Amino acid sequence: MFQLNDEQLQIQAMARRFAEKEVAPYVDEWEDSAYLPREVFKKMAELGFTGMYCSEEYGGLNLDRVSAVLIAEEFGRVQRALGFIFIHNLVLELINDFGTQEQREYWLPLLANGDMLAAFGLTEPGAGSDAANIRTRAVKDGNRYILNGQKCFITNADVADVLSIAAKTDPGAGARGVSIFIVPKGTPGLSVPKVEKTMGVRSTHICEIVLEDCAVPAAQLLGGVENKGFPMLMKGLEGGRLTNGSLAVGVAQGAFEIARDYAKQRNAFGNPIANLQAIQFMLADMATEIEAARWLVRYAAWRKDQGLRAGMYASMGKRYGADMAMKVTTDAVQVLGGYGYIQDYKVERMMRDAKMTQIVEGTSQIQRTIIAREILKD
């Protein structure tokens, strides 16, 4: 089994200090107002978190995946909404890995330095995990493409400065007909007509996007070649499942710590409820499940860093971590009893936030499908 090295431990500690100092005191206020200040993004940029997967020549950290999941866990422990930064980095990674030289030189410094916030436009009303069946169209018209379609559940589309938009350039080719376009905010024909009201993670905005005769220069076709977008999406989603699994671990860890500390100080029948075997067993199971998910996600990240096949393990970590977080946060509410149902104790928010982890980047059911497909291969 691998061990975390000194650099990884330093990055983890830096992420924890940032989350506890710059975010923790304000989480309730931000969640109540459904608002995450842009200053949080700028402070992340000062620490390099806006350029995690970008090469150093463009201002990035060029982080390994294990370091990224360590950051994700620390962010999830304090506020799941901080996970928006990994969507920003997903777009940055796509441009870093697949963009033309001109695209890398222009966009990467802006994204890595935090001058621009990126959003990822894939999901549609009729196509989420089934990315090959998106219906947004991109039609070549001289030196530009005309995009028409609708996207839904797009994180922070209303405040993003640039979006990556997946569209079909060859509608009859299935997965082989997908392309990705870089679309700046303010492009005529691009609109965000709706911000959804969500169950949890409220300071991250979940938006609808409409593309209506949206003209995008051909130079903003990612990689400069049509119909190469599907493998790009799959690589991005694999990385997203790693960080979402780790965000789930963080949410569960935060809820567990509150439940454990409450059990130590809450008295019933003359003794702390932590002395009751029923509570002890709940806490023991919570701690065990968190640790199991933590190392499954880290192992998947380590495999990716080593150049080994990691897709199935990323799905395992995401599925197990998300379902574990839902169970642990629900149990944390139960340990606190009536107080668990009150917003002042935060665990009810964590339970609502945990539900998101079972849905985004592919539901728990989709992850099972991916895992089953891999283990049943000839």
What is 6-113's CATH number?
Answer: 1.10.540.10
Of 129 and 252, which is predicted with more confidence? 252
Alpha-helical runs (H) found in 266-346: 277-305, 311-336
pLDDT at 132: 87
- Give the total residue count for the chain: 378
Q: In whole numbers, what is the pLDDT of the chain averaged over residues?
A: 96
Check if the beta carbon of residue 189 is closer than 8 Å to that of residue 211.
yes
pTM exceeds 0.85, yes or no: yes
pLDDT of residue 148: 99
DSSP 144: E
Q: Where in the chain is the domain with CATH 2.40.110.10?
A: 118-225
Residue 238 is predicted with a pLDDT of 94
Burial 298-330 (b: 16+ CB within 10 A, else e): bbbbbbbbeeeebbbbbbbbbbbbbbbbbbbbb
Condensed to tens digits (0 to 9), the pLDDT of residues 285-328 reads 999 999 999 999 999 999 999 999 999 999 999 999 999 999 99
| Domain 231-376, CATH | 1.20.140.10
Superfamily of domain 118-225: Butyryl-CoA Dehydrogenase, subunit A, domain 2 (2.40.110.10)
Q: Is the pLDDT of residue 50 over 70?
A: yes
At 255, is the pLDDT very low, low, confident or very high (cuts 50, 70, 90)? very high
pLDDT for the residue 201: 96
8 A C-beta contact, residue 40 and residue 23: yes
Q: What is the pLDDT of residue 378?
A: 74
- In this structure, what DSSP letter does residue 361 have? T
In the numeric block, which tokens belong to residue 50?
A: 């806006």
Question: For the ranges 122-136, 152-166, 182-196, 260-274, which has the lowest average pLDDT?
Answer: 122-136
Close Cβ partners of 357 (under 8 Å, ≥ 6 residues apart): 80, 244, 245, 247, 248, 251, 321, 322, 325, 326
In the chain, % of residues over pLDDT 90: 95
Question: Would you name the residues annotated as active-site residues?
Answer: 361
User: Which residues does 251 contact at the CB level (< 8 Å), separation at least 6?
Assistant: 76, 77, 80, 325, 329, 350, 353, 354, 357
pLDDT of residue 1: 58
Q: What is the mean pLDDT of residues 171-188?
A: 96
Q: What is the pLDDT of residue 121?
A: 97
Q: What is the pLDDT of residue 127?
A: 81
Question: What pLDDT is attached to residue 134?
Answer: 95
pLDDT at 131: 83
Over residues 192-223, the pLDDT tens digits come to 999 999 999 999 999 999 999 999 999 999 99
The CA distances from residue 271 to 258, 264, 268, 338, 364, in Å, are: 19, 9, 6, 18, 40
For CATH 1.20.140.10, list the domain ranges present in the chain.
231-376
* DSSP summary character for residue 218: G
Distances (CA, A) of 373 to 209, 300, 378: 32, 17, 10
The segment(s) of the chain belonging to CATH 1.10.540.10 are 6-113
Q: pLDDT tens digit string along 121-155?
A: 999 998 877 888 999 999 999 999 999 999 999 99
User: Tell me, what's the pLDDT at 326?
Assistant: 99
Nearest CA-CA partner of 248 in 72, 44, 27, 4: 72
Which of the pair, 377 or 208, is modelled with greater confidence? Answer: 208
- According to the model, what pLDDT value does residue 126 have? 86
How far is C-alpha 246 from the chain's CA centre?
Answer: 9
